[in-house]
Amino acid sequence: MLENKVCIVTGAASGIGLAIAKKFAEDGANVVMADINEAKLMEEASKLNAKFIKTDLSKREDCKKLVDFAVENFNGVDVLVNVAGIQTVSPIESFPEDKWDFMMNLMLTAPFLLTKYSWPYMKKKGWGRVINLNSIHGLVASEFKAAYVSAKHGLGGLTKTCALEGGPFGITVNSICPSYVRTPLVDNQIADQAITHGISADEVIENIMLSKCSVKKLIEPETVADVALFLCSSAGDHITGSMLTIDGGWTAN
């Protein structure tokens, strides 16, 4: 399906980004892996025989550098998967302002810039896929996550706008919106919440993270990667502008 397609995956050194990079590489794609964590990126990219580039995507110039790198190596971009992201949990009155700026740059401005820079190459081929790793927090809110929820809601707006612009050129643009996925980002939250609430890790998962889900299991990163691959298939030709939930029923509440 992705044979010879050039696929940029950000946040590719860990968690969901890494699972997507693996799945795409197994499917025959030319994968370009980007992440700020150079050591982990090198280690994982060498296993997949993929190209990689260290990038701090909160910086505008690194977004440009990433697309240029893909084009220099493979002469274009067919698929862009925006995954890199972080979480900050704090009440609004003490929410760190520098974290707000960083998260907006990384989780909203970077997807905008990478889409903008990749767009002409997709347009030229008459085919393209932009997949934004969104969240149920692009659809609903949780307290103490002002920057995350705001960036992800903004990413939904970017998804829908670009979907409208991309249709005539065979470019689809979608958000994937998972609830909790078992990754290092979530492992850290489990550990923090266990300490905050004085409960075990299992109790955090059951009583807090899965409380709104009818499927009482954390999602595995490979499941999200399967959905990303599906969007790249011909079955995805007419799926655009969607906020595709993988949430075990969270937002059905």
Ligand X SMILES: NC(=O)c1ccc[n+]([C@@H]2O[C@H](COP(=O)([O-])OP(=O)(O)OC[C@H]3O[C@@H](n4cnc5c(N)ncnc54)[C@H](O)[C@@H]3O)[C@@H](O)[C@H]2O)c1
Binding footprint of ligand X on the chain (CB under 6 A): 11, 13-17, 35-37, 55-58, 83-86, 106, 133, 135, 178, 180-181, 183-186
Compare residues 206 and 237 and give the one whose CB is closer to ligand X.
206
Joined together, the tokens standing for residue 125 give 């081929």
How many alpha carbons fall within 13 Å on the CB side of residue 144?
Answer: 7
Nearest to 155 by CA among 62, 83, 54, 91: 83
Compare residues 159 and 183 and give the one whose CB is closer to ligand X.
183
Shortest Cβ 1–ligand X spacing (Å): 22
Give 205-228 as a DSSP string.
IIIIITTT-SS-SPBPHHHHHHHH
Active site residues: 148
Shortest Cβ 111–ligand X spacing (Å): 9
Shortest Cβ 170–ligand X spacing (Å): 26
| Beta-carbon count within 10 A of 83 CB | 27
Compare residues 56 and 226 and give the one whose CB is closer to ligand X.
56
Compare residues 14 and 109 and give the one whose CB is closer to ligand X.
14
Shortest Cβ 168–ligand X spacing (Å): 29
| Beta-carbon count within 10 A of 73 CB | 13
CB 30 within 8 A of CB 37: no
Phi, psi (deg, nearest 5) at residue 45? -65, -35
Nearest to 20 by CA among 131, 136, 178: 131
